Structure 1
Amino acid sequence: MTAAKKIAASESKARAAEFPAKAGEPAVEVEERSTDGADGTRHVKEFVVLKATWPGRDEADSHKANGAAVANEAIQRGLHPRGEPRFDGAEDHPDGLSLTLTYSVDTVPSSVDHTPGDTTTPRDVLRSEG
């Protein structure tokens, strides 16, 4: 069996497990728990907003609020955020009237988190200066 087939078999087995991170595949678990996708262990969240109303207030405040929502969603999906959420960019939405705003945050699946006290909470995001 080639190395590529071994890796594919390992990922396939991990996907079948309830907690792929416990099988050594944390990125697989993050991907399965992130509805808008993942980039390795980064949980990705997309927001669709009307172009005409974005930003509805100070843009930095809007990004901070969305970052807190990203951290909250990650926690709700069994992922523990680490560090500040990041604004990854905006794209025109196919409806022509909206923008898709993409954010992400590095995470650790809760099933393998040995330091849960290091989790970044939505409150931490809102209190941060960044």
Structure 2
Amino acid sequence: VRLYRDADLVVVSLFPNKYPGGITTILEAMSCRRPVIVTRTEGLRDYVEAPGIVTTVQPGDPASLRSAIVHLLEHPEEANAQAERGYEIVLERHNSERWVEVFATRLNSLLDELSPTVPSAV
């Protein structure tokens, strides 16, 4: 936690992939109210697409990554606002109660699919 708190921002640079790689680091940084820059990948789409939560750049584009880093460092008000929005999203969507709710919903859905249909009494 101290490393996140000491950081001006957190960069998560990923290769293109279909899995939510780096999500733990992203959520930890957001939990510590740090602005986040992340490479845009298919696997992270559902986590980072809401505007203003993180700054995204294309994978394999170091100039764009550098530009995003410089921009947030030169605009601390914008970086702080992004960090606060990220923190609010973590509290709202990525807390233990929410994960239990999602897990229970998916488990019930799976059980419904696996349960044999019982014919109704005539």
Same fold (TM over 0.5): no
Query: Which gives a bigger RCO, structure 1 or 2 (Cα 8 Å, sep 6+)?
Result: 1
TM-score, length of structure 1 as denominator length: 0.21
Q: Quick check: which one's helix share is greater?
A: 2
Larger radius of gyration: 2
TM-score, length of structure 2 as denominator length: 0.22
